[in-house]
Amino acid sequence: METMTKNVSVEKSKTSKISEVDFNNLSFGSVYTDHMLVCDFVNGAWQTPKVVPYQPITLEPSAKIFHYGQSIFEGMKAYKDENGDAWLFRPLENFKRLNKSAKRLAIPELPEAYFMEGLTTLLQVEKDWIPQNPGSSLYVRPFILASGTGFHASPADEYKFIIACAPSGAYFSGKVKVLIEENYSRAANGGVGYAKAGGNYAGQFYPTQLAIEKGYNQVIWTDDNTHEYIEEAGAMNIFVRINDTLITGPTSDRILDGITRKSILEIAEDQGIATEVRKITVSEVVEAAKNGSLKEMFGAGTAAVVSPIAGFGYQGTDYELPELDNSYATQLKTYITDIQYNRTEDKFGWRYPVE
């Protein structure tokens, strides 16, 4: 049965697999909900978005996604509070960044109404899939891929915008040990590092695997030119606390404009935590670790919100970070998640109701 909600059509699945899911044991992004949103770009325009049963998509072997990598995505979450109401966290920021990525990869930009109405309609249909267990959420993955065909190296003429969802349990990264990268680069000036392009992440896998083989969990990326400046932590933005000042690198062609990153900066300023947005040298971090002024390092991103770093390796030497009782990482994660789960006042206006 197909219905229409505003500008989005809805085709309900005849059956649901939700009863087969153990919501107390959810791994990240491996169980998918009953429905997805699909919107095609054909004949020079985005068509009416549709919520349809979750299903495979069919593409020709000549589809340009397979040859020239025109693919972008976002990562966001839906949360349920103790009353069963559903919320998003700063979804318009995800929309803006998706279009920023689209522009860089010569993908047609998406109308805001299609993104927001498509997203909220899908989540209304899938509301029962949003877990209410502590720390759990519904991971939401909007993405666009080139479905148009042709072996010539040029932008496609057809695209698919899809939103798929996966209920996920609480994300605990544990104690993360990282390696500061000295050879490989995540991104370069003038490149696509600031975009959430699929190829950016594919290019990270090999250097990360090399770090894992050396006993580390993740890589700290450095600049492409000199490898003197710390830039990102794996697929997350990075924060460094020296004494009582929280420092993160400025966004650029190479660094993703993370939504968690900008939220942390605003919260820290509101809470009276000293912050600096500037380039961070590897030598500064190493020296701070040696003299004891390096108090914390952590990654910031959608999946874990904040992922504390327990230690790092550089040029054959490992450096351990102190364990703090009331770390900035813990304070900031608690503040953000309290907003996300509607447990506290949202003075910033970031919480967005799914209704």
In tens, the pLDDT along 77-119 reads: 999 999 999 999 999 999 999 999 999 999 999 999 999 999 9
Going by C-alpha positions, the residue among 80, 150, 166 that lies closest to residue 343 is 80
Instruction: List Cβ neighbours of 22 (8 Å cut-off, separation of 6 or more).
Output: none
Structural tokens at position 27: 């791994």
> What does the mean pLDDT of the chain come to?
95
Q: Taking residues 2-29, report their average pLDDT.
A: 86
- Cα–Cα distance between 78 and 91 in angstroms, integer? 10
Tokens representing 303 are 């999946």
8 Å CB contact between 220 and 238: yes
Say if residue 176 is exposed, middle or buried (CB neighbours under 10 Å; 0-12, 13-18, 19+): buried
Please give the Cα distance from 205 to 249 (Å, whole number). 22
pLDDT confidence band for 7 (50 / 70 / 90)? confident
Q: How confident is the model at residue 134 (pLDDT cuts 50, 70, 90)?
A: confident
Name residue, tokens 């791994």. Answer: 27
pLDDT for res 157: 98
**What per-residue confidence (pLDDT) applies to 171?**
75
pLDDT at residue number 172: 66
Q: If you average pLDDT over residues 123-149, what whole number do you get?
A: 96
Question: In 3D, which of 81, 92, 161 has the Cα closest to residue 342?
Answer: 81
**CA pair distance 107, 159, nearest whole angstrom:** 8
pLDDT tens-digit readout, 184-205? 999 999 999 999 999 999 999 9
Query: How confident is the model at residue 271, as a pLDDT?
Result: 96
CB count in 10 Å sphere of residue 261: 23
- Is 194 within 8 Å of 252 (Cβ atoms)? yes
Average pLDDT over residues 234-246: 97
Ordered by where they begin, the domains of the chain are: 2-168 (3.30.470.10), 176-340 (3.20.10.10)
What CA–CA distance (Å, rounded) separates 234 from 177? 11
- Residue 286 CA neighbour count, 13 Å, CB half: 14
